[in-house]
Amino acid sequence: MTDHDPLRDLWASDQEEKFTMSITDLSARSDRFQSRIKRRNLIEYLAAALVVGVFGWMAFIIPVLSIKIGAVMIMMAAIYISWQLNRVASLSAGDTAGDTLANIHRRELVRQRDALRSVWCWYLLPFVPGIVVFTLGTTMETATDVPIWAVITSSAVSLGFVSAIFVGVWAMNAYAARKLDQEIEALDKVRVIG
């Protein structure tokens, strides 16, 4: 690979332009960078606050105990997931600038794969109790003059629909995790280990 190659001459013939950055410029960029991170975090917290606000408002105005409990449980799930997302983001935000691209790429693939594999427990499961209580409460409240079998059927259909969405999300994530596993395996074949 040390043979003379005219492509390298062409590459090196690129004219250098005058460009410098003083330490003051770099510090100013660092401050802007920090502000951007703070702004991004604020947006994430506002999104969680919106879910909490909507369900909190429902828990406050709807006079049915089971719906109130369901809304509060969904609120708690939103807070828990927001905390989890923040924790995962802070774990992956380590300073890896001087690492090899192969290592950084592999770490990111592993992180994504693990997150996808465990999505069931940290993203979907926290919502389940709240949704079940909320759905049952809503169904029973709206079906006052109908036979019990109709209430049970209606609840089962609602919960079945929600379950189907959850299973679909889980299946898609499991498939994506398997694809990432294949990518990691291929990368390991050409990567320097150690």
List interacting residues with other proteins (CB under 8 A): 1-2, 5-14, 16-17, 19-21, 23, 25-27, 29-30, 33, 95-105, 189-192
- Comparing CB distances to other proteins, the nearer of 44 and 141 is 44
Nearer to other proteins, 16 or 145 (CB): 16
101: tokens are: 């691209």
187 in helix, strand or coil? helix
Amino acid in position 12: A
Query: Shortest approach of other proteins to residue 18 CB, angstroms?
Result: 9
CB nearer other proteins, residue 19 or residue 149: 19
- Minimum Å distance from CB 4 to other proteins? 10
Q: Residue 193 — φ and ψ, nearest 5°?
A: -90, 135
Nearest distance from residue 85's CB to other proteins, in Å?
A: 19
Closest to other proteins by CB, 148 vs 190, is 190
Q: How far is the CB of 87 from other proteins (least distance, A)?
A: 21
Rounded Cα–Cα distance for residues 42 and 84 (Å): 15
Residues near 62 by beta carbon (within 8 Å), at least 6 away in sequence: 68, 71
Q: With residue 94 as reference, give the H or E element that holds it.
A: none
Closest CA to 115 of 176, 166, 35: 176
